[in-house]
Amino acid sequence: MTPPIPNSAGVNTPNLAMPSKACDCHLHIYDERFSQVVQAAVLPGLATISEYRQLQRRLGTERAVIVTPRSYGTENDVTLDAIKQLGLDRARGVAVLRDDVSEATLQKLDAGGIRGVRFSLYTPDHAAVSFKMVEPLAARLAALGWHLQLHWTADQIVEHAAMLKRLPTQIVFDHMARLPQPLGLNHPAVKIVEHLLAQGRTWLKLSGAYLDSQVGEAGDFLDIDAVARHWITVAPQRLVWGSDWPHPTETRKPNDANMLDMLSRWTTERSVLENILVSNPSELYGFD
């Protein structure tokens, strides 16, 4: 048992034993020292690095990938500061950038631990970026070895399938590719993502189970199991896991220990779990 942690329900620790260097590949920091963009759709309260360190101790993870929240627009200092506090040996980041970003800014971000750019467009109305920026920016990021992280709906993946196949960068799909329930694996986006995974330049995050579940926490998110197990079967070496703390979309915060334990519900193979938690993040984000 651990003391209560902000933005996380419960005080239990996971039943799943964490391997050394386990990485949480999706979290956000909200710090009052950095101004948020007031027109953003979601404006959560504070979620600081000191609070996240408490969550790390509870879960047993050692490494982290911090993703600039939508509410900060293209201001990535909150993420750079968080990486600096955790240390480059333990942290990386994903920024939000427009296609007119300067080369000097890209170099500064690279030195600060940024390894990708996120296009969170599942609700385009409140986004600082747009679909038309994806290809021009991808051409510039390829030289840095960065990836594009895409939080798109499954329908958006289908709509932009041709562009996805043209991108010169690695691609990371957020939150299991946002397959809506109850359609789930019957959605046409599945075949598109499978094709991209098979090409060896695409990754997928096992995160945000609550985003597309219809049964919710009361039903243990069981309707998401088939989707997660499918991705593990299809591409176990192209998956990473993320907590999505502080769960900015959720009014009622989930139990992070229970959410982490869902991994052992989706696979019992220790080697697969170590791939998802250690080896795959090390390759994608450049940890030693």
As given in the structure block, the two tokens for residue 255 are 């139990």
Fold of 23-280: TIM Barrel (3.20.20)
Q: What is the pLDDT of residue 37?
A: 80
Query: Is the pLDDT at 158 greater than 80, yes or no?
Result: yes
Domain residues of the chain, as ranges? 23-280
Q: What is the pLDDT of residue 61?
A: 99
Cα gap 31→50, rounded to integer Å: 11
Query: Is the pLDDT at 39 greater than 70, yes or no?
Result: no
Residue 82 in contact with residue 91, Cβ under 8 Å?
yes
Percentage of the chain beyond pLDDT 70 is: 98
Find how far residue 265's CA is from the centre of its chain.
Answer: 20
Confidence class for position 3, pLDDT limits 50, 70, 90: confident
Q: What is the pLDDT of residue 45?
A: 78
Give the tens place of pLDDT for each residue, 43-64. Answer: 677 999 999 999 999 999 999 9
Query: Is the pLDDT at 194 greater than 90, yes or no?
Result: yes
Confidence class for position 25, pLDDT limits 50, 70, 90: very high
Query: Is the pLDDT at 40 greater than 70, yes or no?
Result: no
Cα gap 271→134, rounded to integer Å: 35
Cis before residue 246, ω within 30 degrees of 0?
yes
Give the tens place of pLDDT for each residue, 109-135. Answer: 999 999 999 999 999 888 899 999 999
Cα gap 263→56, rounded to integer Å: 17
Query: Is the pLDDT at 42 greater than 80, yes or no?
Result: no
Give the tens place of pLDDT for each residue, 238-264. Answer: 999 999 999 999 999 999 999 999 999
Confidence class for position 41, pLDDT limits 50, 70, 90: low
Query: Is the pLDDT at 207 greater than 60, yes or no?
Result: yes
Task: Kindly report the average pLDDT of the chain as a whole number.
Answer: 96
CA distance readout (Å), 102 to 95, 108, 193, 219: 14, 10, 31, 47
Cα gap 259→261, rounded to integer Å: 5
Q: What is the pLDDT of residue 125?
A: 82
Query: Is the pLDDT at 166 greater than 80, yes or no?
Result: yes
Confidence class for position 38, pLDDT limits 50, 70, 90: low
Give mean pLDDT, residues 67-84.
96
Q: What is the pLDDT of residue 36?
A: 86
Residues in Cβ contact with 102 at an 8 Å cutoff, skipping those fewer than 6 apart: none
